[in-house]
Amino acid sequence: EPEVTQTPSHQVTQMGQEVILRCVPISNHLYFYWYRQILGQKVEFLVSFYNNEISEKSEIFDDQFSVERPDGSNFTLKIRSTKLEDSAMYFCASTGGDTYGYTFGSGTRLTVV
């Protein structure tokens, strides 16, 4: 069964550093997403991406965040200057369209120290 792949599985970074979280969505999917889950809290929507541009973003997705699909396979989330409160599990997801379900990756646990 096709999978969404995320790397790295765990990243530790110092406050103020830039991080890039990487995702390889399912190859024939069209819509891509980032969600995050702070420990013990619910899964929160960050951003959706379609046709090489952001479709929608949440209040969490401020100027510190950016997404990119640099080639035909990767989908990245960049956090420019990490803060302690950015520590969370970040999930990438993709879907093929309106009648498709969402497939989630296994997540990247980001720890900001």
Partner 1 sequence: AQSVSQHNHHVILSEAASLELGCNYSYGGTVNLFWYVQYPGQHLQLLLKYFSGDPLVKGIKGFEAEFIKSKFSFNLRKPSVQWSDTAEYFCAVDDRRSGSARQLTFGSGTQLTVLP
Residues in contact with partner 1 by the rule CB under 8 A: 31, 33, 35, 41-45, 48, 50, 55-56, 91, 93, 95, 98-99, 101-107
At closest approach, how far in Å is the CB of 53 from partner 1?
10
- CB of 24 closer than 8 Å to CB of 32: no
At closest approach, how far in Å is the CB of 60 from partner 1?
13
Give 81 or 106: the residue with its C-beta nearer to partner 1: 106
At closest approach, how far in Å is the CB of 16 from partner 1?
28
